[in-house]
Structure formats: C-alpha cells, structure tokens
C-alpha cells in the first residue's frame, strides 16, 4: 500500500504570464510541485525547505488523551502513527550581569584612573575614545598615547579597542577588567565607551547610548553621563574604608563645605570626583532545542490525535489553529480542546503544555476532527519569546479518511499524475509545471500593459508630465497589488496541457521591478566593525537560523570585493571576492545557508567609484587592473583629483576615489556582466547600491534590467532642509529628490527613506511628534508618496555602530521600530539592534506585522500628530502610538499586542 501527501507546498511562478512585480515570495516563486512519494505510513510535505528535519524517532509510545472533562480516555497503538517529525529550534537565553565603572583619584589630585569591569564570561573589548574641551559635536577622538593601555588597537583616528584582562582575584565578583590612567591637567573633557563582546558581536551601552564619563564641568549632559547623579558613592567591601580619604582628596572639609579656593578652581576647570557605579546588562546566548510532532489515527474516536513534545524548559504555550483548505488561513476548530486552553481573540487558541517528570521539557495532546487540512502553530515561552519555523508558522499536514480509502489500493502503476511527478523528483529529475492565470488576473495584467505602453514610448515621455507619469505608475501598483492578492488566494489546477503550453508562452512586454513581494523585512547583516575578525561570513553563518526565526526575509551583506578600505567601500578588483569579511567560498556557503531557510540575499554593489591599480604619466591613480582593465576614459572628466578623460559626471563626485563614467558603453557593459556574474556565481538575489547620488538613475535602470534582481535599494543620501539650524517641518523637496531618483530608475529599485529617518530624529528627540504628518495628513517621508519603493530604517553601519555619524536618539530606538515595523514601506533593522536587549521587542513587532500581513503598500490613517503623541491605524488591522502623551483605543474592538517605553501596538479583534 502507498499513500500520497494530502497537503504539499505549491510553488508557482508566472515567469511567462505575469509581470515581475506580481511574483510571490520565495515559497511560491519556483515553478515546480515538490512531492515526496513514500511507502506505508510516511507523510511529508516537502517544499520551501520545510523539512530539514532530524530523523524521526522510531520509538513510539502509547498515548492516552483527555479531550475534555466530559470525554473518555482514548488509547492508540503504534500501528496508527501516520506522521512523526522533529523540528530543530534555536532560541536565546538571557544571562544577567553587571558592568562596573569606577573612577579612582590619585594622591596628588591630578592623576586619576578609570576602571571598567564585567562579571559575565565573554571576550570583552572596551571600544572607547575621548572628547576634548571646546569640541563641537559628539564625534570621538583618539586619546593621547600615554593614556592608551598596552595591547590596545587603534581604530582609524577616532577610537581605541582595548581588551579586558581576566582577573586572578575575583573576590569582588568581577572577572574581567581594564584600567585607563589620565592626568587632569590635560584638555580632555570626557571619556566615551561601549563594551563589546567579541564572541557575539553585541555592544552594550547605557540606555541605548554610549557611556560617557565627564571629566570637566563643561561637558554637556546628553543623558548618558555617569558619575554625576550624586557627589559620592560609597564603594562596597574593603573599598568603603577609603571613602573619607577620597572625600578629603577631592577638597571636602569635615563640615561638608568645600574650600572656597578649590571651588573657584573647579568652576574654572573641573569638579572631578571619584565614584563607583554598577549597571545591569543582559547577555543573550543561543540554545539548541527541538520539538517533535506525532499524529495518530484513532478510529474508535473517529478523529486524529496530534502529540507535541519539546525539550524547552519552563512554561511553553502553543498558539494554534487549523486550516480547512490549501489557503492556510487560521481557524478555531470545533469540538473539545485540551486542558489549559483559552481563546486568543477570535483567531486562534492558546494551550499550555504539561510539564514532563523531571522538568526536562513539556508535552501536549490535541484531538482533531476529520476533514481538517492542516494544523498551524507557533510557540510562546515563559519569557514571552515567540518561536516559529524559519520565519513562518509551523504547518503540519493532516490526513483524512477519504485519502486513505482512495489511495489504499493504488499501486505504482496507478499513481496519480502528481505522484508520478514526485517519484521522478525523488530520483533527482526536475519537472517544471506552470499554472494558468485566472481570468480576473489576466484582465488586470492587460490593463497594466495598456498603462505601461502609455508611458513607455519616447513620444509619451515628452508629452506627459512627471506628475502624470507618477500617477500612472501608482495606478499600476494598485493593480499589481490586486493581482498579487488573487495570486496568493487562488488554488492551483495543473494539467498536461498547461505543462506543454507554458514552455511556448512568452510575455510580449517585459516589466522589470526589484521590489520583492511587498511583504519583505530587511536585516542589515553587518556593522562598521564586522570586518575585523576576518571571518564575518562564518560568524554570520551561525546566526542564519536565528535570523530566519525572527521573521526576516532579506539580508543585506557587506561589500564582497577586494578593497583599499577594510569595510569594502573602496573597491579595487571587482572580480576578486576575497575580502576582509572572509573567503569567497565562505561567502557562497553563507548565501546557500540563507537560501536554505528562505531568506534572500542582497549584495552591496559599490559601482559609483573604483580604486585604481596604476598611476598615469602624471602620477595620478586612474589606471585600473584586474579583469576590468579600464584606462582613464572610465573616469569622469570633471573631477580634478583624478584627471579622467571621460564625460562629465551625471551626479555628485565622491572625491575619495575615481568616479566611474557610466555614460561609457564599455563601462556599462562590463558592470552588467559583473552583476550577472555575481548573481550566478554567488547567488545574490538583489542589490544594495552604494552612493547612487553619484550617477544618473537611468543607468541603474539599465543595470537592473540586465541583472533582474528580486529586490534592489539605492542609498540616495543628502541633507534635509534646515532654517537657522532648525529642521523644517516641510521636507517635500528632500523626499522629492529621492523620488526623482527612483523615477529615473523607472521604479526598478527602491531607496532608503532618509527623509523619514531625519524626521523621526527631530520628532522623538525634541518631543515634536506633530512632525510625523505632512500638510495633507500623510506620512512625511518617501513612504508617504511612494511607499512600495521606500525602505525605512532608523540606523545603519554609517549612522550607528562605532561610526555614530547620525545616531538615533538614545533610548528611543524602540519607538522608531514601532513606527517603521507597523507602517508601509519595507522596514530595515540594523544588526546591532537585533543582537541587543531590543531583540525580543523587535521580534514581537515583526511577528505582529507578519500576522496582520502589513505590506509595503498598506494604507495609513493618521489619528493624532501632536506635540507629545503620534497615533495611526494601518490597514484597519493595526493601531499604534508613540510618544509620552496619552492615547488609548476601545478595548471592545482592539487588543493590545505589544507595548514598551512610550509605544503601544494594538490588533483589531
């Protein structure tokens, strides 16, 4: 007897019948049906890498279930097992610890010592720098040489990395320590630092900002100063005996009044006092767990029993539902439920698993009626962490009686067509199966073609205004979204006729768009310091499963090419992919690993400029080597630094390296070949385009149409509008410049929404939340005008990390994420924030976004945009508010889904 899967993941691809921007996400893009034909009692849905499972455990127990208080116990023997799979899980555990910061005063009142220590195991490094008196801004400087401890490493010209030393005497409870000596006669105003764990790459700050130890009374207190809240803290243990000595050494008399001369001197220069502070930190470590699912048929009870067992410690809640067809739409089943089950709104059930003896995990039993197509669930642990499978819900296909009766007497020769296809796939043969597009989708596509034809000709571009063209493009997007919705919800019907016709059908009009499915969530998979280990690809390889479980669908990797600068942004030989981040083979392995879990990969393509290999006759570096051996004709002719013989630049010159002249045919040809080579050789799915302000967007269109990325985003970055140092409320001209660039690419690439980031800065930092609504009541950034092409973010490797060129307001990062993860556009999350104390809160917001299917074209209704509060409703599914002001919703219609410091998110009931 043989059985066939009753539920399989169907991958469909409208490569020939549907424009690019109507394609589904990774699960649905491939044009294949994957089945696995197994003998006897094995049922596997093998599709979008859903079954990278451990071997099933052959040991099967008799299970007794109590369906409800009214039902009788039912026992099933092992012969009735019809499904048994084990899923591997990775979760994070938090370990709490302390960072010690101590300032010791020397005997002569001039020499001080700063001590930083930590009591958690790790490979700790102090990343630090200083500010001098009269410095303007918050940028760090390197300290004088005599101040730098032995074993330190300079970071360019602005910081120092000093490893913490392991202590032999840990009586005080701290096991790693570093000491920095300095003299008060220097002109140093403050010492700034963060503590970094080299093992995990995580940085630990003070309430989201760098630690700052002020050494003068002239140092500004911007919220991250330490040692200033009290005049003196008594040190614990034996150090307490030094308290009186330290008070006297700081000029304090017995009656508590400082000597008048000392006070006058301190007011002129510094009022430096010893102090001791401890700050809480939480280190997160990855823990491997598993969850096993077993299904048994129980003819006596006319139902199936689903058994879940996991080794996750503590309380575990299963958030579950069922689906009755292939749409995988969550529904609450009828019938009896397990003990400790409650309803979650009207969408799902929540059941707490029962602890196993010995406290080594928990398990639960779920009775399910016949006629159910699948069982869907996610897990919630006792620390409110949600666990899913590779960014998606766990899905268990459910057999029913009908299929067993139908297939019980089928032999190999009488297999259904789909099963025969599966047999060939099991032996390694790949079969392509296309699907006919529904009539309603065809009508939409025809309308799109008509609209595209209306703006594609040279004559039309000249006669139609930019506003008219943009209006047509927006109408196309609406139609695309409608067709995409039909595409997602339709049920496939495959025939032999379809297979033969699909090989001959061709789409007469090619439409290229790198905007993904619309449901993308982007992770920046590196920071400014990632290159230092020289094995970043391998380090990130270990985090792939976790990034998938958090819900990310795309990851942006650092520049892969050989580069003059270690970060990769001064490329030299474009075909040499051995960089400071690792070897090319490690890069390929990393990309393959991401693909295994369903995450797309963006390559960081730096094509605005390129560093030369040789000098010309005048000693100027503008002759290139390697596989792309260009001469000075490839360099723009209007940058005097590099004496190029090309045409004038079509954008702004970079000046640090020769700007490439993209108007040259040979340059464009070579770059298109290089991008296509990267797609094939490495497996990149798209691009992050560096410094696109340096060349015309029309060239980007050429590159995108040649390389056909799934997703592309450009870094078009220029300053926002200010008047007398104050940011203007109206930033229309700023976002218009970004819109113009996107329009020049013909919409083949999106752009980072710098406008939104800048406005969020002022709104949150100055408590001016009224800025988050433009004059027409829409979001004031690019996301308010062209949301499907807006990639929203609050931090990246340039603005945050150790560069800190435009750091997001400290302690308010989660407000920023509450905004971008609930609003339209494609949100991007910075690596440093993912692997920090924000992780669980960011994960919760991503889950809410995915659960409610918020996408890049979702609609926003701004409810409030006042001085201290901003509130909005998105797609009538989500409501959110940020800011210290009050805003609440009617509890009868909304359920609070997430909240934190000055932000809340609700889901519609």
Find the radius of gyration of the CA atoms of the chain: 31
> Any idea what DSSP says for residue 648?
P
| Helix H or strand E segment including 843 | helix 839-851
**Nearest alpha-carbon partner for 632 in 650, 624, 640:** 624
- Cα gap 694→697, rounded to integer Å: 9
Asked if 693 and 718 count as a contact pair (C-beta separation under 8 A), the reply is yes
**Nearest alpha-carbon partner for 349 in 370, 377, 310, 391:** 377
* 228-234 contact pairs (CB < 8 A, 24+): 230/275, 231/273, 232/273, 232/274, 232/275, 233/275, 233/276, 233/277, 234/276
Question: Crossing angle for the helix pair 466-489 and 732-744, nearest 10 degrees?
Answer: 70
Phi/psi for 609 (5° steps) reads -145, 165
- Cα gap 717→725, rounded to integer Å: 19
Asked if 45 and 418 count as a contact pair (C-beta separation under 8 A), the reply is no
Strand partners, 396: 375
CA atoms within 13 A on the CB side of 76: 26
3-state class of 325 per DSSP? coil
CA atoms within 13 A on the CB side of 176: 19
Strand partners, 860: 874
- Cα gap 383→843, rounded to integer Å: 13
> Any idea what DSSP says for residue 427?
T
Token output for 276: 């001791």
Token output for 421: 């296809």
Cα-to-chain-centroid distance, residue 847: 12
Token output for 420: 């025969």
3-state class of 129 per DSSP? strand
Asked if 204 and 99 count as a contact pair (C-beta separation under 8 A), the reply is yes
3-state class of 283 per DSSP? strand
Q: DSSP per residue over 328-343, as a string? A: ---BPPPS---SSEEE
Asked if 192 and 155 count as a contact pair (C-beta separation under 8 A), the reply is no
- Cα gap 605→672, rounded to integer Å: 12
**Nearest alpha-carbon partner for 705 in 683, 740, 660, 675:** 675
Q: DSSP per residue over 761-824, as a string? A: HHHHHTT-GGGGS-TTSS-SSGGGT-GGGEEE-S--TTTSTTT-TTPPPTT-HHHHHHHHTTSS
Q: Which amino acids are annotated catalytic?
A: 690, 715
Terminal-residue alpha carbon distance, the chain:
46
Asked if 128 and 193 count as a contact pair (C-beta separation under 8 A), the reply is yes
3-state class of 463 per DSSP? helix
Asked if 820 and 813 count as a contact pair (C-beta separation under 8 A), the reply is no
β-pairing, 621-623 vs 614-615, is antiparallel
- Cα gap 6→51, rounded to integer Å: 16
């Amino acid at each position: 007897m043989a059985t066939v899967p009753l539920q399989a993941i169907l991958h469909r691809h409208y490569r020939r019948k549907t424009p690019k921007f109507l394609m589904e996400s990774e699960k649905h893009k491939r044009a294949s049906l994957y089945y696995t034909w197994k003998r006897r009692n094995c049922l596997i849905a093998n599709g979008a890498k859903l079954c990278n499972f451990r071997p099933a455990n052959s040991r099967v127990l008799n299970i007794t279930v109590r369906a409800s208080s009214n039902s009788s116990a039912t026992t099933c023997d092992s012969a009735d097992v019809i499904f048994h799979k084990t899923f591997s899980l990775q979760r994070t555990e938090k370990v709490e610890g302390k960072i010690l910061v101590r300032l010791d005063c020397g005997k002569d009142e001039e020499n001080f010592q700063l001590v930083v220590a930590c009591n958690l195991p790790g490979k700790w490094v102090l990343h630090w720098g200083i500010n001098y008196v009269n410095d303007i801004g918050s940028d760090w400087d390197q300290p004088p040489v005599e101040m730098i401890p032995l074993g330190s490493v300079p970071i360019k010209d602005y910081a120092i990395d000093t490893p913490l030393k392991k202590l032999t005497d840990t009586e005080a409870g701290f096991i790693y320590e570093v000491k920095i000596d300095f003299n008060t006669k220097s002109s140093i105003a403050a010492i700034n630092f963060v503590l970094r764990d080299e093992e995990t790459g995580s940085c630990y700050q003070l309430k989201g900002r760098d630690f700052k130890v002020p050494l003068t009374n002239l140092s500004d207190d911007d919220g991250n100063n330490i040692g200033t809240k009290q005049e003196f803290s008594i040190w614990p243990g034996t150090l307490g005996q030094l308290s009186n000595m330290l008070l006297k050494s700081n000029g304090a008399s017995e009656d508590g009044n400082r000597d008048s001369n000392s006070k006058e001197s301190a007011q002129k220069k510094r009022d430096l006092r010893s102090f001791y502070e401890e700050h809480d930190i939480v280190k997160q470590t990855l823990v491997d767990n598993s969850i096993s699912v077993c299904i048994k048929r129980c003819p006596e009870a006319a139902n199936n029993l689903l058994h879940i067992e996991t080794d996750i410690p503590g309380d575990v809640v299963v958030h579950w539902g069922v689906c009755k067809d292939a749409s995988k739409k969550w529904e609450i089943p009828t019938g009896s439920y397990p003990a400790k089950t409650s309803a979650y709104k009207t969408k799902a059930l929540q059941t707490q698993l029962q602890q196993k003896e010995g406290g080594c995990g928990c398990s639960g039993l779920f009775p399910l009626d016949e006629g159910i197509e699948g069982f869907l669930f996610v897990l919630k642990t006792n620390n409110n962490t949600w666990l899913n499978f590779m960014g998606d819900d766990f899905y268990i296909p459910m057999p029913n009686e009908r299929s067993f009766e139908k297939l019980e007497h089928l032999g190999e020769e009488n297999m259904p067509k789909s099963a025969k296809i599966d047999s060939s796939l099991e032996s390694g043969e790949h079969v392509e199966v296309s699907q006919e597009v529904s009539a309603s989708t065809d009508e939409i596509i025809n309308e799109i073609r008509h609209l595209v034809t209306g703006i594609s000709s040279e004559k039309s571009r000249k006669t139609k205004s930019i506003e008219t063209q943009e209006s047509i493009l927006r109408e196309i997007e609406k139609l695309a979204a409608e067709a995409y919705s039909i595409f997602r919800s339709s049920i496939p019907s495959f025939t032999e006729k379809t297979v033969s016709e699909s090989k001959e059908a061709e789409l007469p009009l090619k439409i290229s768009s790198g905007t993904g499915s619309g449901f993308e969530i982007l992770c920046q998979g590196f920071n400014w310091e990632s290159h230092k280990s020289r094995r970043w690809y391998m380090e990130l390889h270990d985090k792939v499963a976790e990034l998938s479980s958090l819900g990310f669908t795309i990851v942006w990797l650092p520049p892969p090419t050989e580069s003059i600068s270690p970060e990769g942004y001064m490329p030299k030989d474009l075909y040499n992919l051995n960089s400071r981040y690792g070897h090319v083979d490690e890069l390929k392995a990393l990309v393959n690993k991401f693909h295994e879990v369903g995450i797309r990969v963006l390559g960081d393509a730096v094509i605005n400029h390129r560093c030369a290999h040789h000098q010309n006759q005048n000693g100027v570096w503008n002759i290139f080597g390697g596989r792309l051996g260009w001469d000075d004709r490839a360099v723009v002719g209007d940058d005097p630094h590099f004496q190029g013989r090309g045409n004038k630049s079509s954008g702004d010159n970079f000046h640090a390296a020769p700007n490439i002249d993209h108007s040259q045919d040979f340059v464009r040809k070579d770059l298109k070949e290089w991008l296509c080579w990267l797609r094939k050789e490495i497996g990149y799915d798209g691009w992050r385009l560096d410094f696109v302000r340096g060349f015309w967007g029309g060239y980007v269109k050429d590159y995108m149409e040649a390389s056909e990325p799934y997703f592309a985003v450009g870094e078009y970055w220029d300053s926002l509008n200010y008047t007398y140092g104050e940011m203007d409320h109206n930033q229309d001209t700023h976002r218009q410049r970004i819109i113009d660039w996107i329009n020049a690419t013909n919409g083949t690439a999106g752009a980072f929404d710098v406008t939104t980031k800048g406005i969020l800065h002022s709104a949150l930092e100055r408590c001016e939340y009224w800025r988050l609504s433009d004059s027409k009541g829409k979001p004031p950034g690019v996301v308010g005008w062209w949301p499907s092409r807006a990639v929203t973010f609050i931090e990246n490797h340039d603005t945050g990390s150790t560069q800190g060129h435009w750091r997001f307001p400290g302690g308010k990062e989660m407000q920023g994420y509450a905004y971008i993860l609930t609003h339209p556009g494609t949100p991007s999350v910075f690596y440093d924030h993912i692997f920090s104390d924000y992780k669980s809160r960011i994960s919760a917001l991503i889950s809410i976004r995915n659960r409610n299917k918020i996408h890049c074209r979702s609609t926003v209704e701004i409810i409030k945009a006042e001085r201290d509060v901003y509130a909005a409703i998105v797609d009538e599914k989500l409501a959110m508010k940020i800011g210290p002001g009050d805003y609440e919703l009617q509890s009868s219609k909304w359920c609070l889904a997430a909240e934190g410091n000055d932000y809340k998110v609700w889901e519609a009931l």
